[in-house]
Amino acid sequence: MSNHEIEHLRNLEKAYKERLNVLEVQLAKYGMSCPPYILVEIENIKAQLSKIQSSIKDSRNEFLTAERRKLYLFRGFAGFLIVGLFFFFGLRAYGISVIWNPPWAKEESTPAPTRVISPSPVVNVNPIYSSPKYVPEDTVNTYFHLIESGQYNDAWSMLTQNFRERHNPQGYDIYVEYWQYHRPAKITTNSLGESGQRYVIRVEIEYYDRQEEGTDRFHFAMVFEGGQWKIDEYCDERYAPKCSDAGF
């Protein structure tokens, strides 16, 4: 990597860090009521910074590798010379030692006992109880924020394959058409806790430009998959008043 490319990466790193500082101040001010899009942008910036810093580190390693080769060649030559000198003077010293201390006069030494170290036991941790990237309720809020702002591809990625096949069998394009017509205006979420291997969130949705009055209420089942919470199933309270009948 050229010096110009490295300088460009450093400028990007500086700009991302300045933007990240601004967002983290906003996060501290909002606290628990911080808008999801701020959290999403913070995570995106951290991912970009990680890539940039990795590229800078790789270029630094390439430079250090070339310098180490030169150093290793010099050390190899110097080491060879030192070993040769030690070998030469060692032979002379050994000749003198044999004269004063013949091998048959040495006592046999007892080897030291070998210490065996047992490996520590491995503890398996169920990933469903690991610390998630976001809590499930924040994931639902982020999902509907992405839909409201027209970021359908990012919202689509927050659905499991099971959800897509059951509720969107015609694919992504039909999914986008649906949400372009049913734009959520207000989202209210309430955590209902764990249900088996899933986490259940109750969601109330009001829509833009909707003629009929009222609010739709759903139960969303979340699963921890691929290092983040995703939406795996939902239940409409209008058709299943007791969503426990649907496995929730």
Q: For the ranges 5-9, 112-116, 159-163, 199-203, which has the lowest average pLDDT?
A: 112-116
Q: Are residues 74 and 159 in the same domain?
A: no
Query: Which of 59, 85, 111 is at the close of a domain?
Result: 85
CA distance 200 to 95: 84
CATH number of the structural domain spanning residue 226: 3.10.450.50
Q: Which domain holds residue 185?
A: 131-246
pTM for this model (two decimals): 0.44
What average pLDDT score do residues 176-189 get? 80
Whether 205 maps to a domain, the answer reads yes
Q: What is the pLDDT of residues 100-142, one digit of tens each?
A: 555 555 555 555 555 554 443 433 433 443 444 557 888 888 9
Last residue of a domain, one of 85, 100, 120: 85
Res 92: pLDDT: 67
Distance between CA atoms of 139 and 132, rounded to whole angstroms? 10
Q: State the average pLDDT over residues 85-109.
A: 62
Among 33-42, 88-97, 195-204, the range with the most confident prediction by mean pLDDT is 33-42
In total, how many domains does the chain have?
2
Alpha-carbon distance of 93 to 81, in angstroms, equals 18
Segment 106-109 long-range contacts (CB within 8 Å, at least 24 positions apart): none
**Quick one: 242 and 137 in the same domain?**
yes
Residue-averaged pLDDT of the chain: 76
Query: What would the mean pLDDT of 3-13 be, rounded to a whole number?
Result: 85
pLDDT attached to residue 152: 92
> Considering only 17-31, 91-105, 111-125, 176-190, which range has the smallest mean pLDDT?
111-125
Mean pLDDT, residues 71-92 taken together = 76
Selected residue with higher pLDDT from 67 and 4: 4
Q: Quick one: CA torsion of 42, 45, 51, 54, rounded to 10 degrees? A: -70
159 phi and psi angles, rounded to 5 deg: -105, 140
| Greater pLDDT, 123 or 71 | 71
Q: Which tokens go with 74? A: 């010099």
Whether the per-residue pLDDT at 8 is higher than 80: the answer is yes
pLDDT at 3 exceeding the cut of 90: no
Task: Give, as one character, the DSSP assignment of residue 247.
Answer: T
**At which residue do the structure tokens 């520590």 appear?**
120
- The pLDDT score that the predictor gives to residue 213 is 54
Per-residue pLDDT, averaged over 210-218, amounts to 68
pLDDT category at 153 given cuts 50, 70, 90 is: very high
pLDDT of residue 32: 83
Q: Is 207 among the domain residues?
A: yes
Assess if residue 110 is contained within a domain: no
Same-domain check for residues 143 and 234: yes
The percentage of the chain sitting over the pLDDT mark of 70, rounded to a whole number, equals: 72
